[in-house]
């Protein structure tokens, strides 16, 4: 189905909703205003969007297009809520304006739903009842509050909660993958895995309760599961920090006195690149202080040079420039380490002076900061 056909279908649906709602309202015992008519139409369109989202969500949780649909649905809900608010305040003009915005936004969501349906090869047949004529005993007062379905599954409360459950389940999948990689590296992730298993069980219960319209009980299970997911995330963050420290050691960095907490803070603050550069400068300073052992540090210095090359390749701005300068300084230290045996015999004073000079420049590049 091309874009033109999709938009024609969407416009047709909106027209049906508007005509059906107006036909019912003006035949109802109570005479309603144009603002109430628009709000009623937006309410029915909202129900249709909810129903279709329910069809799509289990098939397309990770779809970027579905994320756009979710965002449009939320925006439409906000517009509709404001329309009802202004209607209750007696401001019909503002109520109509927001009702029209809600209709347009839900229409955009319907358009994307058509595209995603074609991609997934699914059907919205189960949602046709939303467009069916309303029962004669419904009055305009129902529209003022909200058009309610017989089931909670198309309600404004159900949809965000069910999506939140699915997002949490997806997060558990991601964390389990992280735990598996950490365990394969020799780190104990048994407690995190236990917490994730408990959270998954609670989320499955939440899904079942929500499907049976027990939304309060479902919300309690979801809240408990989120707490467990948070605890598991902290456990895995510590394991990840320990793994990072081990990796830093393998790359030649001096990690004596390095705490898990400081690594976690650097990662959390998105300053790990800066942290690595500071650690590199510290390591170079410590290496050059031990002049008699400088020759034995050649392999370590080469590891530092390789690390800085990788940082320089992916870094931007000042971090890239600093990585380049440190790399050049490390290369100087490598050259000095190679000449160290001969200079130690013939000119030890010059060896010490050059080593001290490299160390001083490393300290200056660090800027005197102790890192994040």
DSSP 9: H
Q: Residue 366, class by beta-carbon neighbours within 10 Å (0-12 exposed, 13-18 middle, 19+ buried)?
A: buried
pLDDT of residue 143: 35
The dihedral through the CA atoms of 107, 108, 110, 114 has a sign that is positive
3-state secondary structure of 159: helix
Q: Write out residues in the chain with pLDDT < 70, as ranges.
A: 1-32, 58-62, 126, 128-157, 159, 367-372
Count of other CB atoms within 10 angstroms of residue 250: 11
CA dist., res. 21 & res. 134, Å (int):
8
The dihedral through the CA atoms of 60, 64, 69, 73 has a sign that is positive
Query: Measuring CA to CA, how many Å separate 315 from each of 152, 167, 301, 318, 335?
Result: 50, 32, 20, 8, 26
What are the strands, taking DSSP E only, across 86-239? Answer: none
Closest by CA position to 60, among listed 20, 120, 118: 120
pLDDT of residue 83: 92
DSSP 212: T
- Spell out the domain ranges in the chain: 3-150, 161-247, 269-366
Q: What is the pLDDT of residues 2-46, one digit of tens each?
A: 544 555 445 455 544 444 444 444 444 444 577 888 888 888 888
- Cβ–Cβ under 8 Å, residues 337 and 294: yes
């Amino acid at each position: 189905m091309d874009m033109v056909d999709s938009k024609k279908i969407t416009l047709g649906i909106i027209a049906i909703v508007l005509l059906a709602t107006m036909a019912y309202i003006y035949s109802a015992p109570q005479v309603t205003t144009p603002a109430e008519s628009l709000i009623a139409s937006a309410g029915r369109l909202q129900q249709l969007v909810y129903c279709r989202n329910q069809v799509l969500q289990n098939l397309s949780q990770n779809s970027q297009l579905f994320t756009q649909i979710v965002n449009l649905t939320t925006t439409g809900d906000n517009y509709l809520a404001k329309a009802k608010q202004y209607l209750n305040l007696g401001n019909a003009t503002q109520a109509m304006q927001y009702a029209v915005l809600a209709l347009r936004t839900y229409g955009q969501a319907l358009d994307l739903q058509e595209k995603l349906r074609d991609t997934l090869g699914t059907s919205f047949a189960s949602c046709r009842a939303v467009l069916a004529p309303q029962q004669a005993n419904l009055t305009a007062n129902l529209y003022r509050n909200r058009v309610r379905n017989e089931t909670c599954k198309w309600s404004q409360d159900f949809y965000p909660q069910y999506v939140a459950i699915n997002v949490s389940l997806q997060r558990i999948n991601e964390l389990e993958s992280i735990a598996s990689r950490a365990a394969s590296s020799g780190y104990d992730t048994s407690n995190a895995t236990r917490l994730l298993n408990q959270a998954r069980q609670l989320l499955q219960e939440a899904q079942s309760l929500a499907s049976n319209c027990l939304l309060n009980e479902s919300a309690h299970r979801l809240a408990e599961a989120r707490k467990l997911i948070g605890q598991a995330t902290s456990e895995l963050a510590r394991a990840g920090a320990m793994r990072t420290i081990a990796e830093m050691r393998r790359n030649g960095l001096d990690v004596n006195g390095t705490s898990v907490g400081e690594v976690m803070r650097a990662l959390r603050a998105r300053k790990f690149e800066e942290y690595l550069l500071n650690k590199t400068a510290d390591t170079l300073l410590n290496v050059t202080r031990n002049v008699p052992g400088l020759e034995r540090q050649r392999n370590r210095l080469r590891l530092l040079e390789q690390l800085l090359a990788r940082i320089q390749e992916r870094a931007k701005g000042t971090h890239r420039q600093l990585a380049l300068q440190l790399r050049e300084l490390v290369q100087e230290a490598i050259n000095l380490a190679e000449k160290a045996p001969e200079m130690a015999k013939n000119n030890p004073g010059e060896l010490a002076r050059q080593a001290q000079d490299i160390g001083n420049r490393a300290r200056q590049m660090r800027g005197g900061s102790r890192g994040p």
